[in-house]
Amino acid sequence: MDWIQIITLALVQGLTEFLPVSSSAHLVLVAPVLGWPDQGLAFDIAVHLGTLGAVLLYFRQHLFALARGCLRSGPEQTEVFYLAVATVPAVIAGFLLNEWLASWTRAPVVIMGTTLIFGLLLGYADRKPTLGIQITLNIALVIGLFQVLALIPGTSRSGITITAALLLGVSRVEAARFSFLLSIPIIAGASLLLVKDAVELGLDVQVGDWLLGAAVALVSALACIKVFIALVERIGMMPFVWYRIALAGGIGVWLVL
């Protein structure tokens, strides 16, 4: 890949990983739409590690507090438990269904449908009155079950988990915060699986491309998290809903043409 392709794809990953618009859909579509070759497994690893680094950096103080408090009874231990509960359904579903889903869900028509349907569901959830309910065990489990749907490209992991939280009366800020923390084990697990596949295939890693992609993804994702958390209560989810509707329409036009 040339540097323009590297930076473009890394920016797409960094800017869409944590916004409720589906990074996987964008990465699946960008290359064919622009006529670029597939970016390859090694590059996917690089940009995933970049976005993982971004969320770790942003929540570093909170993560240190969770690490210190998770071994004794208290709110930190409870939150770690809730995050673990919410992670389990996607891990099980990914292990059992990943190959089957990969065989048909990456088709543009599927991405168009999931982008539209789950975008509209996000809009419905955002218009419900905010009750300010805190995350509980039951809410964490429901969010985790909704997260399974993110295995289908176009759904958006952050979008579907935020949707679930909003439907249950959690505030936008708390929904986004929990969703972003929940991304840590998911992105880390996905990255480990990609590394395993890369090792088995004996892929040749272009270190310069890898480092550039990871750095661009990290910086753009970190900026995205900061802006989203700061503005989400004020702007709500509707800008992303309208974007998803427009994106689904654009995919439809592209498919027809």
Model confidence pLDDT, tens digit, residues 170-202: 999 999 999 999 999 999 988 887 777 767 766
What is the DSSP code (8-state) at residue 156?
Answer: -
- Say what the pLDDT of residue 88 is: 96
Vertex 187: Cα angle to 56 and 100 (nearest 5): 175
- Say what the pLDDT of residue 203 is: 61
The count of structural domains within the chain is 1
Residue 132 dihedral angles phi and psi, to the nearest 5°: 70, 25
| Half-sphere exposure (Cβ direction) of 173: Cα atoms closer than 13 Å | 8
How many other C-beta atoms lie within 10 A of the C-beta of residue 3?
11
Q: Distance from first CA to last CA of the chain, Å, rounded?
A: 27
Question: Which residues form the domain of 21?
Answer: 3-256
| Total-model pTM | 0.91
How many other C-beta atoms lie within 10 A of the C-beta of residue 50?
27
- Say what the pLDDT of residue 70 is: 83
Are the CB atoms for 156 and 54 separated by under 8 Å?
A: no
The yes-or-no verdict on residue 58 having pLDDT over 90 is: yes
